[in-house]
Amino acid sequence: MNLAIDELTAAPEAEGSCSLEHYLAMPDHSMDGRIAEARAKLGATTILLGHHYQRDEVVRFADYTGDSYKLSKIAAGTDARYIVFCGVHFMAESADILAKASQQVILPDLNAGCSMADMAEISQVEECWDTLARAGLDGETIPLTYINSTAAIKAFCGERGGLVCTSSNTGAAFRWAFARGKRILFLPDQHLGRNTGYAMGIPLEEMQVWDPWAIQGGQSKEKLAASRVLLWKGHCSVHQRFLPSHVDQVRAKYPGIRVIVHPECRFEVCQKADALGSTERLIALVQQAPAGAMFAIGTEIHLVNRLAKRFAAEGKRIITLDDTGCLCTTMYRISPQHLAWALENLIEGRVVNRIAVSAEVKHWARVALDRMLEVA
Protein backbone atom coordinates (compact mmCIF):
# COMPACT_ATOMS: atom_id res chain seq x y z
CA MET A 1 0.00 0.00 0.00
CA ASN A 2 1.04 3.61 -0.43
CA LEU A 3 1.26 4.90 3.12
CA ALA A 4 1.75 8.40 1.80
CA ILE A 5 -1.99 8.44 1.22
CA ASP A 6 -3.18 9.12 4.77
CA GLU A 7 -6.62 10.52 4.17
CA LEU A 8 -7.85 12.82 6.88
CA THR A 9 -11.26 14.37 7.00
CA ALA A 10 -10.72 17.70 8.65
CA ALA A 11 -13.12 20.45 7.71
CA PRO A 12 -12.05 23.76 9.24
CA GLU A 13 -15.48 25.27 8.68
CA ALA A 14 -18.43 22.89 8.42
CA GLU A 15 -21.35 24.20 6.43
CA GLY A 16 -23.36 26.65 8.49
CA SER A 17 -20.77 26.78 11.28
CA CYS A 18 -20.14 29.85 13.38
CA SER A 19 -17.29 31.95 12.01
CA LEU A 20 -13.98 31.20 13.74
CA GLU A 21 -12.79 34.72 12.94
CA HIS A 22 -15.63 36.08 15.09
CA TYR A 23 -14.31 34.13 18.09
CA LEU A 24 -10.65 35.04 17.49
CA ALA A 25 -11.51 38.74 17.70
CA MET A 26 -12.58 38.30 21.33
CA PRO A 27 -10.31 38.32 24.42
CA ASP A 28 -9.43 35.05 26.15
CA HIS A 29 -11.36 35.72 29.37
CA SER A 30 -14.60 36.34 27.47
CA MET A 31 -14.63 32.65 26.48
CA ASP A 32 -14.65 31.22 30.01
CA GLY A 33 -18.38 31.37 30.61
CA ARG A 34 -19.19 30.17 27.10
CA ILE A 35 -16.87 27.16 27.39
CA ALA A 36 -18.31 26.22 30.78
CA GLU A 37 -21.87 26.57 29.48
CA ALA A 38 -21.11 24.51 26.38
CA ARG A 39 -19.48 21.78 28.47
CA ALA A 40 -22.58 21.61 30.65
CA LYS A 41 -24.93 21.37 27.66
CA LEU A 42 -22.89 18.68 25.91
CA GLY A 43 -22.57 16.62 29.07
CA ALA A 44 -21.44 13.01 28.73
CA THR A 45 -21.62 13.13 24.93
CA THR A 46 -18.28 14.95 24.85
CA ILE A 47 -14.96 14.37 26.57
CA LEU A 48 -12.33 17.09 26.68
CA LEU A 49 -8.65 16.08 26.81
CA GLY A 50 -5.80 18.42 27.71
CA HIS A 51 -2.14 17.61 27.16
CA HIS A 52 0.33 18.57 29.91
CA TYR A 53 1.92 21.21 27.66
CA GLN A 54 -1.35 22.99 26.93
CA ARG A 55 -1.84 26.54 28.19
CA ASP A 56 -3.59 27.01 31.54
CA GLU A 57 -6.51 28.93 30.02
CA VAL A 58 -7.49 25.78 28.13
CA VAL A 59 -6.27 22.82 30.20
CA ARG A 60 -8.34 23.87 33.22
CA PHE A 61 -11.47 22.87 31.31
CA ALA A 62 -10.16 19.38 30.55
CA ASP A 63 -11.86 16.29 31.93
CA TYR A 64 -8.47 14.57 31.88
CA THR A 65 -4.87 15.74 31.57
CA GLY A 66 -1.84 13.65 30.71
CA ASP A 67 0.48 12.63 27.91
CA SER A 68 -0.85 11.79 24.46
CA TYR A 69 -1.13 8.01 24.76
CA LYS A 70 -2.67 8.10 28.23
CA LEU A 71 -5.31 10.56 27.00
CA SER A 72 -6.11 8.52 23.89
CA LYS A 73 -6.62 5.39 25.96
CA ILE A 74 -8.86 7.22 28.43
CA ALA A 75 -11.03 8.61 25.65
CA ALA A 76 -11.40 5.25 23.90
CA GLY A 77 -12.52 3.72 27.18
CA THR A 78 -15.44 6.12 27.57
CA ASP A 79 -18.84 6.19 25.91
CA ALA A 80 -18.41 9.80 24.79
CA ARG A 81 -19.44 10.39 21.19
CA TYR A 82 -17.07 13.33 20.70
CA ILE A 83 -13.42 13.51 21.76
CA VAL A 84 -12.14 17.09 21.80
CA PHE A 85 -8.34 16.82 21.96
CA CYS A 86 -6.52 19.94 23.14
CA GLY A 87 -3.10 18.90 21.95
CA VAL A 88 -1.48 18.58 18.53
CA HIS A 89 -2.28 16.79 15.28
CA PHE A 90 -0.52 13.45 15.86
CA MET A 91 -2.24 13.16 19.24
CA ALA A 92 -5.66 13.56 17.67
CA GLU A 93 -4.68 10.93 15.08
CA SER A 94 -3.67 8.52 17.86
CA ALA A 95 -7.00 9.12 19.59
CA ASP A 96 -8.85 8.32 16.36
CA ILE A 97 -6.80 5.16 15.83
CA LEU A 98 -7.76 3.88 19.29
CA ALA A 99 -11.31 5.26 19.31
CA LYS A 100 -14.48 3.24 18.85
CA ALA A 101 -16.26 3.39 15.49
CA SER A 102 -18.99 5.49 17.10
CA GLN A 103 -16.56 8.17 18.30
CA GLN A 104 -15.35 11.26 16.46
CA VAL A 105 -12.16 13.15 17.27
CA ILE A 106 -11.94 16.95 17.05
CA LEU A 107 -8.79 19.10 17.06
CA PRO A 108 -9.83 22.69 17.90
CA ASP A 109 -7.11 24.19 15.68
CA LEU A 110 -5.80 22.26 12.66
CA ASN A 111 -2.62 24.36 12.73
CA ALA A 112 -1.59 22.72 16.01
CA GLY A 113 1.05 20.40 14.63
CA CYS A 114 4.32 18.98 15.96
CA SER A 115 7.71 19.98 14.58
CA MET A 116 9.19 16.61 15.53
CA ALA A 117 6.46 14.61 13.80
CA ASP A 118 6.86 16.81 10.73
CA MET A 119 10.56 15.91 10.50
CA ALA A 120 9.72 12.38 9.31
CA GLU A 121 7.75 12.49 6.06
CA ILE A 122 6.39 9.12 5.00
CA SER A 123 7.97 9.40 1.53
CA GLN A 124 11.37 10.02 3.15
CA VAL A 125 10.97 7.04 5.46
CA GLU A 126 9.97 4.80 2.56
CA GLU A 127 13.06 5.98 0.65
CA CYS A 128 15.23 5.16 3.67
CA TRP A 129 13.72 1.67 3.82
CA ASP A 130 14.32 1.16 0.10
CA THR A 131 17.97 2.09 0.63
CA LEU A 132 18.27 -0.46 3.43
CA ALA A 133 16.58 -3.06 1.20
CA ARG A 134 19.05 -2.44 -1.66
CA ALA A 135 21.87 -2.99 0.83
CA GLY A 136 20.21 -6.20 2.04
CA LEU A 137 19.65 -4.77 5.52
CA ASP A 138 15.87 -4.46 5.69
CA GLY A 139 15.32 -8.06 6.80
CA GLU A 140 17.46 -7.56 9.88
CA THR A 141 16.13 -4.09 10.76
CA ILE A 142 13.11 -3.44 12.99
CA PRO A 143 11.43 -0.03 12.61
CA LEU A 144 10.30 1.64 15.83
CA THR A 145 8.57 4.98 16.07
CA TYR A 146 8.05 7.28 18.99
CA ILE A 147 4.37 8.06 19.53
CA ASN A 148 5.18 11.65 18.51
CA SER A 149 4.80 10.71 14.85
CA THR A 150 2.14 10.75 12.17
CA ALA A 151 -0.36 7.93 11.71
CA ALA A 152 1.35 7.07 8.42
CA ILE A 153 4.69 6.50 10.19
CA LYS A 154 3.01 4.37 12.87
CA ALA A 155 1.38 2.30 10.11
CA PHE A 156 4.72 1.98 8.29
CA CYS A 157 6.25 0.43 11.40
CA GLY A 158 3.27 -1.79 12.06
CA GLU A 159 3.28 -3.23 8.55
CA ARG A 160 7.01 -3.98 8.70
CA GLY A 161 7.07 -5.82 12.00
CA GLY A 162 7.77 -2.85 14.27
CA LEU A 163 5.89 -0.96 16.93
CA VAL A 164 5.22 2.37 18.61
CA CYS A 165 6.77 3.42 21.92
CA THR A 166 6.42 6.22 24.45
CA SER A 167 9.22 7.94 26.32
CA SER A 168 8.47 5.72 29.32
CA ASN A 169 8.79 2.35 27.54
CA THR A 170 11.43 3.00 24.88
CA GLY A 171 13.88 0.69 26.63
CA ALA A 172 11.36 -2.15 26.62
CA ALA A 173 10.65 -1.48 22.94
CA PHE A 174 14.39 -1.65 22.14
CA ARG A 175 14.73 -4.99 23.93
CA TRP A 176 11.69 -6.31 22.05
CA ALA A 177 13.19 -5.21 18.72
CA PHE A 178 16.66 -6.63 19.39
CA ALA A 179 15.06 -9.99 20.12
CA ARG A 180 13.75 -9.90 16.54
CA GLY A 181 16.47 -8.18 14.55
CA LYS A 182 20.03 -6.94 14.50
CA ARG A 183 19.27 -3.27 14.03
CA ILE A 184 16.65 -0.66 14.95
CA LEU A 185 15.50 2.17 12.71
CA PHE A 186 14.28 4.68 15.28
CA LEU A 187 11.88 7.45 14.27
CA PRO A 188 11.65 10.42 14.49
CA ASP A 189 13.58 11.67 17.57
CA GLN A 190 17.31 11.04 17.49
CA HIS A 191 17.82 12.21 21.09
CA LEU A 192 15.34 9.80 22.68
CA GLY A 193 16.82 6.98 20.59
CA ARG A 194 20.41 7.85 21.47
CA ASN A 195 19.70 8.31 25.19
CA THR A 196 17.84 5.01 25.31
CA GLY A 197 20.47 3.08 23.38
CA TYR A 198 23.34 4.45 25.47
CA ALA A 199 21.51 3.58 28.71
CA MET A 200 21.31 0.00 27.40
CA GLY A 201 25.06 -0.11 26.82
CA ILE A 202 25.15 0.54 23.08
CA PRO A 203 28.24 2.62 22.19
CA LEU A 204 27.64 5.95 20.48
CA GLU A 205 29.67 4.83 17.46
CA GLU A 206 27.16 2.04 16.85
CA MET A 207 24.30 4.54 16.62
CA GLN A 208 24.39 6.36 13.29
CA VAL A 209 22.18 9.29 12.26
CA TRP A 210 20.09 9.01 9.11
CA ASP A 211 19.76 12.43 7.48
CA PRO A 212 16.75 12.32 5.11
CA TRP A 213 18.10 15.30 3.18
CA ALA A 214 21.47 13.66 2.40
CA ILE A 215 22.30 11.02 -0.21
CA GLN A 216 21.92 7.57 1.37
CA GLY A 217 21.14 9.31 4.65
CA GLY A 218 24.69 10.64 4.80
CA GLN A 219 26.00 7.15 5.63
CA SER A 220 28.21 4.63 3.87
CA LYS A 221 26.95 1.09 3.33
CA GLU A 222 29.62 -0.11 5.74
CA LYS A 223 28.42 2.18 8.55
CA LEU A 224 24.82 1.23 7.91
CA ALA A 225 25.68 -2.45 8.12
CA ALA A 226 27.71 -1.98 11.29
CA SER A 227 25.07 0.11 13.06
CA ARG A 228 22.85 -1.27 15.80
CA VAL A 229 20.59 1.78 15.96
CA LEU A 230 19.86 4.01 12.99
CA LEU A 231 18.63 7.32 14.39
CA TRP A 232 16.36 9.50 12.28
CA LYS A 233 17.59 13.11 12.21
CA GLY A 234 14.65 14.65 14.05
CA HIS A 235 14.13 16.37 17.38
CA CYS A 236 11.71 18.26 19.61
CA SER A 237 12.16 21.98 19.06
CA VAL A 238 11.40 22.62 22.75
CA HIS A 239 13.70 20.05 24.36
CA GLN A 240 16.59 20.61 21.96
CA ARG A 241 16.89 24.18 23.26
CA PHE A 242 18.28 22.97 26.59
CA LEU A 243 22.07 22.99 26.64
CA PRO A 244 24.76 21.50 28.94
CA SER A 245 25.65 25.06 29.97
CA HIS A 246 22.15 25.48 31.41
CA VAL A 247 22.79 22.57 33.76
CA ASP A 248 26.13 24.06 34.85
CA GLN A 249 24.55 27.47 35.43
CA VAL A 250 21.70 26.28 37.66
CA ARG A 251 24.03 24.09 39.70
CA ALA A 252 26.36 27.05 40.26
CA LYS A 253 23.49 29.35 41.22
CA TYR A 254 21.55 26.86 43.34
CA PRO A 255 23.86 24.37 45.10
CA GLY A 256 22.09 21.10 45.82
CA ILE A 257 19.40 21.57 43.19
CA ARG A 258 18.21 18.43 41.38
CA VAL A 259 18.20 18.63 37.59
CA ILE A 260 15.62 16.38 35.94
CA VAL A 261 15.01 16.38 32.20
CA HIS A 262 12.95 14.72 29.50
CA PRO A 263 14.84 12.13 27.40
CA GLU A 264 14.02 14.16 24.27
CA CYS A 265 16.82 16.49 25.46
CA ARG A 266 20.30 16.34 23.95
CA PHE A 267 22.58 13.49 25.00
CA GLU A 268 25.02 15.92 26.68
CA VAL A 269 22.23 17.45 28.78
CA CYS A 270 20.87 14.06 29.82
CA GLN A 271 24.33 12.92 30.87
CA LYS A 272 24.64 15.90 33.22
CA ALA A 273 21.15 15.53 34.70
CA ASP A 274 20.34 13.78 37.98
CA ALA A 275 17.44 11.91 36.38
CA LEU A 276 15.53 11.65 33.13
CA GLY A 277 11.99 10.64 32.57
CA SER A 278 8.77 10.93 30.68
CA THR A 279 6.42 13.76 31.57
CA GLU A 280 4.57 11.51 34.01
CA ARG A 281 7.84 10.43 35.66
CA LEU A 282 9.06 14.02 36.00
CA ILE A 283 5.83 14.84 37.81
CA ALA A 284 6.23 11.77 40.03
CA LEU A 285 9.81 12.69 40.94
CA VAL A 286 8.66 16.09 42.18
CA GLN A 287 5.65 14.63 43.95
CA GLN A 288 7.71 12.01 45.80
CA ALA A 289 10.45 14.44 46.87
CA PRO A 290 10.55 15.65 50.49
CA ALA A 291 9.38 19.11 51.48
CA GLY A 292 11.94 21.79 50.69
CA ALA A 293 13.34 20.01 47.63
CA MET A 294 14.38 22.13 44.67
CA PHE A 295 14.25 21.09 41.02
CA ALA A 296 15.32 22.54 37.70
CA ILE A 297 13.24 20.79 35.06
CA GLY A 298 14.13 20.50 31.40
CA THR A 299 10.77 20.36 29.67
CA GLU A 300 7.97 22.57 28.35
CA ILE A 301 7.43 25.77 30.34
CA HIS A 302 3.65 25.46 30.90
CA LEU A 303 4.13 22.16 32.74
CA VAL A 304 7.04 23.55 34.77
CA ASN A 305 5.03 26.61 35.85
CA ARG A 306 2.04 24.44 36.72
CA LEU A 307 4.19 22.18 38.89
CA ALA A 308 5.75 25.21 40.61
CA LYS A 309 2.30 26.44 41.64
CA ARG A 310 1.04 22.99 42.59
CA PHE A 311 3.88 22.13 44.95
CA ALA A 312 4.65 25.57 46.40
CA ALA A 313 2.53 24.81 49.47
CA GLU A 314 4.84 21.88 50.25
CA GLY A 315 7.85 24.18 50.24
CA LYS A 316 9.18 22.72 47.00
CA ARG A 317 10.80 25.14 44.59
CA ILE A 318 10.61 24.35 40.90
CA ILE A 319 12.26 26.34 38.14
CA THR A 320 12.87 25.81 34.45
CA LEU A 321 16.30 24.65 33.38
CA ASP A 322 16.44 27.54 30.90
CA ASP A 323 14.98 30.78 32.25
CA THR A 324 14.36 32.13 28.77
CA GLY A 325 11.39 29.73 28.72
CA CYS A 326 10.72 26.91 26.32
CA LEU A 327 7.20 27.21 24.95
CA CYS A 328 5.65 24.62 22.65
CA THR A 329 4.36 27.12 20.11
CA THR A 330 2.28 24.60 18.18
CA MET A 331 0.54 23.37 21.34
CA TYR A 332 -0.10 27.02 22.23
CA ARG A 333 -2.21 27.42 19.09
CA ILE A 334 -5.13 25.78 20.86
CA SER A 335 -6.77 28.83 22.43
CA PRO A 336 -9.93 29.40 24.49
CA GLN A 337 -11.44 30.89 21.34
CA HIS A 338 -10.78 27.73 19.30
CA LEU A 339 -12.17 25.57 22.09
CA ALA A 340 -15.35 27.63 22.46
CA TRP A 341 -15.85 27.58 18.67
CA ALA A 342 -15.55 23.79 18.47
CA LEU A 343 -17.85 23.16 21.44
CA GLU A 344 -20.56 25.61 20.41
CA ASN A 345 -20.63 24.11 16.93
CA LEU A 346 -21.20 20.70 18.53
CA ILE A 347 -24.18 22.09 20.41
CA GLU A 348 -25.60 23.14 17.04
CA GLY A 349 -25.00 19.63 15.69
CA ARG A 350 -21.95 20.50 13.59
CA VAL A 351 -18.61 18.70 13.84
CA VAL A 352 -15.72 20.97 12.88
CA ASN A 353 -12.05 20.01 12.49
CA ARG A 354 -12.69 16.29 12.66
CA ILE A 355 -9.57 14.13 12.45
CA ALA A 356 -10.27 10.78 10.79
CA VAL A 357 -7.42 8.46 9.79
CA SER A 358 -8.07 6.33 6.70
CA ALA A 359 -9.03 2.69 7.32
CA GLU A 360 -5.85 1.04 5.97
CA VAL A 361 -3.50 3.40 7.78
CA LYS A 362 -5.56 3.01 10.94
CA HIS A 363 -5.29 -0.81 10.72
CA TRP A 364 -1.50 -0.96 10.60
CA ALA A 365 -1.04 1.89 13.07
CA ARG A 366 -3.29 0.01 15.48
CA VAL A 367 -1.15 -3.11 14.99
CA ALA A 368 1.92 -1.10 16.00
CA LEU A 369 0.13 0.35 19.04
CA ASP A 370 -1.18 -3.05 20.10
CA ARG A 371 2.36 -4.45 19.98
CA MET A 372 3.41 -1.63 22.28
CA LEU A 373 0.79 -2.75 24.79
CA GLU A 374 2.19 -6.28 24.66
CA VAL A 375 5.68 -4.93 25.37
CA ALA A 376 4.43 -2.76 28.23
Domain count, the chain: 3
Residue 243 DSSP code: -
Tell me: pLDDT of 12 over 80: no
Answer yes or no: do 272 and 284 share one domain.
Answer: yes
Answer yes or no: do 56 and 76 share one domain.
Answer: yes
- Per the prediction, the chain carries an average pLDDT of 90
In a domain, 2, yes or no: no
CB-based contact 307:284 (threshold 8 Å): no
Residue 337 sits in a domain whose CATH number is: 3.40.50.10800
pLDDT digits (tens, 9 = 90+) for 316-373: 999 999 987 667 767 778 999 999 999 999 999 999 999 999 999 999 999 999 998 8
pLDDT digits (tens, 9 = 90+) for 22-56: 888 787 788 999 999 999 999 999 999 998 888 88
CA-based nearest residue to 90, from 146, 49, 151, 145: 151
Alpha helices in the chain, H assignment, sequence order? 20-24, 32-42, 56-59, 68-76, 89-98, 115-118, 122-134, 151-159, 170-178, 190-199, 221-226, 244-253, 267-272, 279-288, 301-310, 336-347, 359-375
Tell me: pLDDT of 10 over 60: no
Answer yes or no: do 141 and 193 share one domain.
Answer: yes
In a domain, 359, yes or no: no
Answer yes or no: do 208 and 243 share one domain.
Answer: no
Answer yes or no: do 297 and 281 share one domain.
Answer: yes
Tell me: pLDDT of 129 over 90: yes
Give the range among 12-21, 138-147, 292-301 with minimum mean pLDDT.
Answer: 12-21
Answer yes or no: do 182 and 220 share one domain.
Answer: yes
In a domain, 232, yes or no: yes
Q: How far is CA 103 from the centre of its chain?
A: 22
Report the pLDDT value the prediction gives residue 4, as an integer from 0 to 100.
38
Answer yes or no: do 50 and 97 share one domain.
Answer: yes
- As a whole number of angstroms, the distance between CA 350 and CA 221 comes to 54
Buried/exposed code over 4-36 (b: 16+ C-beta within 10 A; e: otherwise): eebebebeeeeeebbebeebeeeeeeebeebbe
Buried/exposed code over 301-337 (b: 16+ C-beta within 10 A; e: otherwise): bbbbebbbeebeeeebebbbbbeeebbbebbbbbbbb
In a domain, 125, yes or no: yes
128 — pLDDT class (breaks 50, 70, 90): very high
In a domain, 9, yes or no: no
In a domain, 1, yes or no: no
In a domain, 344, yes or no: yes
Answer yes or no: do 66 and 39 share one domain.
Answer: yes
Answer yes or no: do 185 and 225 share one domain.
Answer: yes
Q: What length is written for the chain?
A: 376
- As a whole number of angstroms, the distance between CA 218 and CA 131 comes to 12
Residue type, 16: G
Query: Residue 308 belongs to what domain range?
Result: 239-320
Answer yes or no: do 285 and 346 share one domain.
Answer: no
CA-based nearest residue to 210, from 265, 135, 278, 112: 135
pLDDT digits (tens, 9 = 90+) for 227-270: 999 999 999 888 899 999 999 999 999 999 999 999 999 999 99
In a domain, 358, yes or no: no
- As a whole number of angstroms, the distance between CA 365 and CA 324 comes to 37
Answer yes or no: do 81 and 178 share one domain.
Answer: no
pLDDT digits (tens, 9 = 90+) for 70-123: 887 787 788 899 999 998 899 899 999 989 999 999 999 998 888 888 899 999
Answer yes or no: do 226 and 371 share one domain.
Answer: yes
Report the pLDDT value the prediction gives residue 287, as an integer from 0 to 100.
96
Report the pLDDT value the prediction gives residue 376, as an integer from 0 to 100.
66
